[in-house]
Amino acid sequence: MKKSFIFIFSFIILSLSAQDKLLTTKDAIYMNRAIMPARVPQLQWIGESDDYAFAKENSMYKVSAKRGTETLLLDLDMLNTAMYANGYDSLKHLPRINLFSDETGYFKKGNAYYEYDFNARHLRKINSVPDSAENIDFNKDTKIAAFTIKNNLYYAADGKAHQITLDDNPGIVNGHIVHRNEFGINTGIFWSPEGKKIAFYRKDETMVADYPLVDIDQRIAKVKNIKYPMAGETSQQVTLGVYSLETGKTVFMKTGLPKDHYLTAVTWGPEGKTIYIAILNRDQNHLKLNQYDAATGEFVKTLFEETNPKYVEPENPLFFRPGHNDQFVWESKRDGYNHLYLFNTEGQLLKQLTKGEWVVTDFLGFYGKNQAWFMATKESPLQQNIYKVDLENGKIIRISPDHGTHYAIINKNGKFVIDIFSSTDVAREYLLLDNKGKTIRVIKEDKSPLKDYDLGQMKVSTLKAGDGTKLYYRLIKPIHFDSTKKYPVIVYVYGGPHVQLVTDTWLGGAGLFLNYLAEQGYVVFTLDNRGSANRGLFFEQAIFRNVGTIETKDQMTGVDYLKSLPYIDTVRIGVDGWSYGGFMTLSLMLRYPGVFKVAVAGGPVTDWKYYEVMYGERYMDTPQTNPEGYKKASVLNYIDRLKRKVLVIHGTMDQTVVWQQSLLFIQKAVSLGKQVDYFVYPGHKHNIRGIDRANLYEKITAYFKENL
């Protein structure tokens, strides 16, 4: 562990001692667990106490934060003795235990939930859900589980299932994620604070055209239709219902017209009587934070509005201040950077809690008296550190002591923090800190899992775009680097919103496949262009209505830098990327013909009018209102410039970037007499997962070896 570190962005090199082991493509998908960074399973604070727990070798231990003493809470034999005594099937390994206190906890096995008393060593079954249940949301206070079966919502109490919605039409979906996971939406079920009501999304997709996917796993291939509203086309209509477990009745919030607006930031008021919803118009440039009466569905008031000429992007709920039911923290980019604001429920801004040319990346919660904890890039865009802000005097204190990317687990009273972090020189380490950032003990010491492997030198530094904008890049040299030789380059690119590839984390954020490519003799280069994450709104919105232009210009800044290096073979530059990175790969190859010798584009967007409404319209508006932007962005309009080797890869069941995108590219290439290599992964969705991912890596590597 390093106690201090000056991160000089203009020049930093991490040299890993050369050993004799080499990575494989199976290593790159972590099939070899020995090369994964160390972890502490089931690490959690116990209730309101100053004790934390962790699992080791099918046992769970309690640890005193103050003294460090370990006490066995339970082990697999204890659990199985209790399971056997109650006539339940035994467990093969220790399940995930969610601790209520140091006396009781619960776990799930199959479709059943069990509560275990550590002192009495007594176990009881507290609930179960049907085998077909999905999207399960278990309320640990009431022991009731809400869940979905197909398109309807249910709840289970004492193992008995109760149906809430009764929609026969599969185009009407209840309790599921809506708006295609945009706006930070990761659930369709919202329990009230007292656990007596369930708010849920109701999504009406009946007006959205069916989009066909083809399932080839049957004797006669079968069409599987999904709902995929494309940019500029008819979109889904979402409402929010509130079901009372006491009355058995559902009331829908009267969120008004137009019906294709977005309902985001759904939050229960602390008293369980009101619901807050951020209503975002379809143009995504005008937000209203509204309050509704949960009992009647009636609109109460608009607390405030946010507008932006390009887009507003709400991604978080309201965070209510404990002991102050009329105050909450709201995350917003209203001043150009994502920051925390303290409001009251009348909509009055009480205080901007954080401010500066840096972004809050995660709100952690309220711990201790008048303290709000958060993660932010305050020290550097490459780092994420732990901070707390005093809600009364506004003083901000950094808690994490080391440079890098951190994650915090904070105990209820805010006295202690478990800091899990990695950096360019730490694979992963667990520290116990006090609430001022002083290290109490090392819970898990860093041990590089790649210390016996031969890795290339990695450098993280900056370049300046033509207008002076600072751009961060990462460069990995081949193993056994010889400065007198000339090396080919693979530019690995993503370049789209919400992603940052160059970070102060282990391997600089590169992952093992890029190190594997460096092992094969390539210089591997990555640059985060404008449009990517954690640099503020001006940086992110530079792509608005014109994707593929400023991003490729920034990438060419990186290419020009590479060409200036004496050890780079400037005629052997390749480019590789997936999804938005696939779009960027094709855009670079075609907009700058002759620069790149080889390109591999996976799951690429080729024409944005075939992409989905929520994401596509945020960054490009609609094809009807921005025809020139869509025309310029479409790589289909540049295929006549194709001069070099291109491999396009796609999963046939991709529901994010539909297969049609790459098929249109191939169709246009054929019509123009251009040769393109093409490969599909049958049955795979947007990402190629499992053992087939090793096959993907082998294919990409072989294509570069053959052509670069």
As given in the structure block, the two tokens for residue 12 are: 């930093």
Q: Is 579 one of the catalytic residues?
A: yes
Q: How far from 102 is each of 141, 382, 417, 508, CA to CA, in Å?
A: 16, 38, 18, 39
Provide the b/e sequence for 554-584 (b: ≥16 CB within 10 Å).
Answer: bbbbbbebbeeeebbbeebbbbbbbbbbbbb
Per DSSP (E only), the strands in 15-69 are 44-45, 51-56, 59-64
Secondary structure of residue 293 in the 3-state scheme: strand
Catalytic residue among 362, 390, 686, 692: 686
The values of phi and psi at residue 59, to 5°, are -135, 155
Amino acid at residue number 107 = F
Break the chain down into helix, strand, coil percent, rounded to 5: 15, 35, 45
Q: How far from 366 is each of 100, 370, 439, CA to CA, in Å?
A: 19, 7, 21
Q: Is 235 one of the catalytic residues?
A: no
The values of phi and psi at residue 172, to 5°, are -110, 115
Is 59 in contact with 75 (CB distance < 8 Å)?
A: yes
The values of phi and psi at residue 567, to 5°, are -100, 10
Q: Is 141 one of the catalytic residues?
A: no
Secondary structure of residue 181 in the 3-state scheme: helix
As given in the structure block, the two tokens for residue 413 are: 């009273």
CA 624 – CA 232 distance, rounded (Å): 7
Helices and strands, counts by H and E, the chain: 10, 44
Count Cβ atoms within 10 A of the Cβ of residue 649 and give its class: 0-12 exposed, 13-18 middle, 19 or more buried: buried
Secondary structure of residue 379 in the 3-state scheme: coil
Catalytic residue among 27, 454, 576, 654: 654
Catalytic residue among 192, 235, 423, 579: 579
Opening angle at CA 537, ends 534 and 540, nearest 5 = 65
**Catalytic positions, please?**
579, 654, 686
